[in-house]
Amino acid sequence: MKLLENPFGIHEKALAVRNQRMELISANIANADTPLFKARDLDFKSILAGENPSPMAATSPRHFETGEVQNRDGILYRVPYNSSVDGNTVEINVEQAKYGEAATQYQATLQFLESRISGIRKSLRGE
Amino acid sequence: MLKNIFEIAGTALTAQTIRMNTTASNLANAGTVSSSEEEAYRAKRPVFRALVDQADLNAGFNTLGGVKVKAVVDSTEPVRKVHDPGNPEANDEGFVFLSNVNEVTEMVDMVASSRSFQNNVEVVTTARQLMMRTLDIAKA
């Protein structure tokens, strides 16, 4: 039966990624006063597609291996608008805005999931 | 899991509380006098560090990404030496040593840490609302 094969579609994975993003931003806000802390965020589109957003490809035999520096989990460092003396790249206003954005997106994904569930329920009841 | 957000914001609330505690201690001791330079009160400052590696997990933190107070260090500003022979704390030459607390810096630091505290409370509030909504998904 097609209906229950993949009932939640992309939204199941999307919810996990949205949640991961909120975690990262909350870590940024928590470290707003930590010297040398670098704010991080994730690239939603490429994570959902399962790609590495910025691979350092060794296209020539003379290229060095980047080793552990290579970022495989889609988490990127935020480029700050202004630099700060203590090397911290968290800009609290930016992070607050991003957190609000991430929370709204999380709710949107929840809404999609809810409508899927209620749709399946309705069809099972045969109303 | 959304519960990680509670943990992360929780570590930040703890760290900011420690920072406010040092501020309170500094302000309380702003007028403290001592009879020698070594004994003089020096302003305390917390040093924050991000929770990033396995060592932090071994140290009892459940989630990476939060913040901890690595150490509380003394300010290196010079202490003030004042001639006050009438003071019971005065040394043989009649000098007392005041603390190196700068009240203005402390007040600014207090406001900054209370703002950071509020930000993290807001993070928790939002995460809690989303968690409640996620729990309600079964009722859809």
Q: Are A106 and A19 in contact (CB under 8 A)?
A: yes
Q: What is the pLDDT of residue B26?
A: 96
Helices in A38-126 by DSSP H: which ranges?
44-48, 92-125
- How many Å is the Cα radius of gyration of chain A? 20
* Lowest pLDDT segment from A11-20, A61-70, B22-31, B67-76: A61-70
Q: What is the rounded distance in angstroms from the CA atom of residue B115 to the CA atom of residue B132? A: 26
- CA-based nearest distance A40→chain B, Å: 10
User: ∠ CA(A47), CA(A53), CA(A54), 5° rounding?
Assistant: 160
**pLDDT over 90 at A11, yes or no:** no
Q: What is the pLDDT of residue A51?
A: 59
Contacts of B138 in chain A (CB under 8 A): 117
Phi-psi region of A36 (alpha: psi -120 to 50; beta: other; left: phi over 0): left
Picking from B33, B36, B5, B22, the residue whose alpha carbon sits closest to that of residue B131 is B5
HEC profile for B52-72? Answer: CCHHHHHCCCCCCCCEEEEEE
Contacts of A77 in chain B (CB under 8 A): none
Rounded to 10 deg, the angle between the B2-28 and A11-30 helix axes is: 10
**pLDDT over 90 at B63, yes or no:** no
> Per-residue pLDDT averaged across B114-129, rounded?
95
Q: Is the ipTM of this complex over 0.95?
A: no
Amino acid symbol at A88: N
Q: Are A18 and A95 in contact (CB under 8 A)?
A: no
**pLDDT over 50 at A68, yes or no:** no
pLDDT tens readout for residues B123-132: 999 999 999 9
Which one of B11, B19, B140 has the shortest CB-CB distance to A30? B11
Contacts of A87 in chain B (CB under 8 A): none
> Per-residue pLDDT averaged across B45-49, rounded?
94
Per-residue confidence band for A67, with pLDDT thresholds at 50, 70 and 90: very low
Query: For chain B, what is the mean pLDDT?
Result: 91
Q: What is the pLDDT of residue A70?
A: 44
> Is A106's Cβ below 8 Å from some Cβ in B?
yes
Q: Are A44 and A24 in contact (CB under 8 A)?
A: no
Q: What percent of chain B has pLDDT over 90?
A: 71
- CA-based nearest distance B118→chain A, Å: 11
Alpha-carbon dihedral sign for residues A77, A83, A88, A92: negative
Tokens representing A105? 């997106």
Tokens representing B28? 């309380």
Contacts of A27 in chain B (CB under 8 A): 8, 50, 64-66
Q: What is the pLDDT of residue A53?
A: 47
pLDDT tens readout for residues A85-105: 999 999 999 999 999 999 999
Per-residue confidence band for B34, with pLDDT thresholds at 50, 70 and 90: very high
Q: b or e along A14-24 (b: 16 or more beta carbons within 10 Å of the residue's beta carbon)?
A: bbebbbbbbbb
Amino acid symbol at B110: M
Q: What percent of chain A has pLDDT over 90?
A: 41
pLDDT tens readout for residues B82-97: 999 999 989 999 999 9
Q: What is the pLDDT of residue A69?
A: 43
Q: What is the rounded distance in angstroms from the CA atom of residue A26 to the CA atom of residue B102? A: 32
Helices in chain B by DSSP H: which ranges?
2-28, 54-58, 103-135
Higher pLDDT, B75 or B62: B75
> Per-residue pLDDT averaged across A47-56, rounded?
63
Q: What is the pLDDT of residue A112?
A: 92
